[in-house]
């Protein structure tokens, strides 16, 4: 009896071992495994220096019959004045636009006002969605064609996205 039990246990062990061996040797599926979806890289926030839009001064000032309205860096350097009587805004392109991640320089010829220079630095490196927070500090200088300074002051500017 004891011998039968031992033979039964050995036979059972061999059967289990055979099943394990046969399962590990089963044919592989012909369907290729799907590759894992690509891992999305976290978005890099845009630099304020690359943000398209315009900058509005915290302090309104006029030169002659024109009120300084805004300036833009992207998509192109522009300075905008508005006629004080009519309120019509007129942009003018800048002949010089040097824009770096932390500072910028614009020089724009505005025929009715003169030569406008804006030298500024970004107060925040990354573009912000907060439209009421100053993001630029800049010195705006307006000279007449002879070089006489008509206006020069430092101001802070808030950014608005382009239309």
Q: What is the DSSP string of 122-136?
A: ES-SB--S-TTSEEE
Helix, strand, or coil (residue 57): strand
In degrees and rounded to multiples of 5, residue 13 shows phi and psi of: -65, -40
pLDDT recorded at residue 47: 85
The dihedral over CA atoms of 159, 144, 104, 96, expressed in degrees to the nearest 10, equals 110
Global confidence as pTM:
0.70
Map out the domains of the chain as residue ranges: 48-161
pLDDT recorded at residue 7: 62
pLDDT recorded at residue 107: 98
Task: Give the closest residue to 68 by CA, choosing from 17, 5, 114.
Answer: 114
Strands 134-143 and 53-57: unpaired
Rg (CA), the chain: 36
The continuous run of DSSP H or E covering 38 comes out as: none
Chain centroid to CA 39? 21
The dihedral over CA atoms of 43, 47, 48, 50, expressed in degrees to the nearest 10, equals -100
pLDDT recorded at residue 62: 94
pLDDT recorded at residue 99: 95
What is the rounded distance in angstroms from the CA atom of residue 35 to the CA atom of residue 55?
47
- Tokens 């592989």 label which residue? 28
pLDDT, tens digit only, all 163 positions of the chain: 776 666 666 666 766 665 666 666 655 556 556 666 665 555 455 888 888 999 999 998 999 999 999 999 999 999 999 998 888 899 999 999 999 999 999 999 998 999 999 999 999 888 776 667 899 999 999 999 899 999 999 999 999 987 6
What is the rounded distance in angstroms from the CA atom of residue 139 to the CA atom of residue 71?
12
pLDDT recorded at residue 19: 62
pLDDT recorded at residue 87: 82
């Amino acid at each position: 009896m004891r011998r039968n039990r031992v033979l039964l246990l050995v036979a059972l062990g061999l059967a289990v071992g055979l099943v394990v061996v046969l399962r590990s040797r089963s044919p592989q599926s012909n369907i290729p495994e799907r590759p894992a979806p690509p891992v999305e890289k976290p978005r890099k926030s845009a630099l304020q220096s690359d943000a398209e839009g315009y900058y509005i001064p915290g302090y309104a000032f006029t030169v002659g019959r024109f009120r300084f309205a805004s300036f833009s860096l992207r998509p192109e350097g522009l300075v905008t004045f508005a006629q004080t009587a009519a309120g019509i805004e007129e942009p003018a392109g800048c002949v010089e636009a040097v824009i770096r991640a932390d500072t910028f320089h614009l020089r724009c010829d505005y025929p009715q006002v003169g030569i406008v220079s804006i030298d500024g630095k970004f107060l925040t490196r990354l573009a912000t969605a907060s439209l009421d927070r100053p993001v630029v500090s800049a010195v705006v200088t307006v000279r007449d064609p002879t070089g006489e300074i008509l206006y020069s002051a430092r101001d802070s500017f808030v950014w608005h996205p382009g239309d």
